[in-house]
Amino acid sequence: MNIGKVNKILEDKFPLKEWENKVQDTRKQPVIPPSTIFKLVRETVLFGQKSSLEVDHFGRLSSSLKWHQSNRKIVASDTTILRVLEGFNCDKVREILNDAHMVLEDEDIFRTILPSGRRLKIGIVDSSEFGGFPASVLIVAGAVNAPLDVELYSRDKELLATKTVLNRAKDKLGKGFVDITLGDGPQRI
């Protein structure tokens, strides 16, 4: 895969630089800008990385240092990535997810076509501990599965977080923004 070519396609569809600049975190004097952490996380899909440790190892390669224009020995360590993500401004991340959703909605790729020919827009809500950060995530599934919203939660607050992402999506996109919502047992609300 030519990652430069893939990135160019993404840049043609999405305002990636604008999104990178929109991201904020709580650090006072960051050595590694939040935009770099955002880019590293965004690229996990392109590079097939399944953990922050894989991102860490990748970030030590000379090709990665060149790609990210980093003068350091590593773009960002796994511990730095997790620490910075913890301080990300989730409202800004939600804005970016919403912007991406609107672009993809215009492409009409969120429809799943059933054998009968009926087209459905499917929402999936689930929770996980993403690198030690418990969160409930709402994605819209279709030709592309795209996250629409995320809500971090503390111990035993999973259902509340799920209700929050669903209500926020309904408030922003209107009732019936998807034809059907799927979730696992604990997510039934």
Q: Are residues 19 and 107 in the same domain?
A: no
Q: Are residues 181 and 148 in the same domain?
A: yes
Residue 124 tokens read as: 């999936």
Q: Are residues 82 and 96 in the same domain?
A: no
Read off the pLDDT of residues 75-118 as tens digits, 9 standing for 90 and up.
989 888 888 887 888 888 888 888 888 887 877 777 888 899 98
Comparing CA positions, the residue from 129, 125, 128 lying closest to residue 148 is: 125
Comparing CA positions, the residue from 155, 158, 93 lying closest to residue 127 is: 158
Among 71, 86, 101, the domain boundary falls at: 86
Give dist(CA 158, CA 173) in Å, integer: 23
Q: Are residues 96 and 163 in the same domain?
A: yes
pLDDT category at 168 given cuts 50, 70, 90 is very high
Among 53, 86, 119, the domain boundary falls at: 86
Give the Cα-Cα-Cα angle 97, 22, 176 (nearest 5 degrees): 20
Q: Are residues 72 and 94 in the same domain?
A: no
Q: Are residues 123 and 42 in the same domain?
A: no
Q: Are residues 132 and 174 in the same domain?
A: yes
Q: Are residues 64 and 102 in the same domain?
A: no
The kind and range of the H/E element at 62 are helix 62-67
Q: Are residues 181 and 108 in the same domain?
A: yes
pLDDT for the residue numbered 62: 92
Rg (CA), the chain: 18
Helices 78-86, 34-42: axis angle to 10 degrees equals 110
Q: For the chain, how many helices (H) and strands (E)? A: 9, 6
Among 52, 86, 120, the domain boundary falls at: 86
Give dist(CA 37, CA 68) in Å, integer: 10
Range of the domain at 37: 3-86
pLDDT category at 185 given cuts 50, 70, 90 is low
Q: Are residues 163 and 183 in the same domain?
A: yes
When divided into structural domains, the chain yields a total of 2
Q: Are residues 46 and 108 in the same domain?
A: no
Read off the pLDDT of residues 24-81 as tens digits, 9 standing for 90 and up.
888 888 888 888 988 888 888 777 787 888 889 999 999 889 988 889 998 989 888 8
Q: Are residues 182 and 115 in the same domain?
A: yes
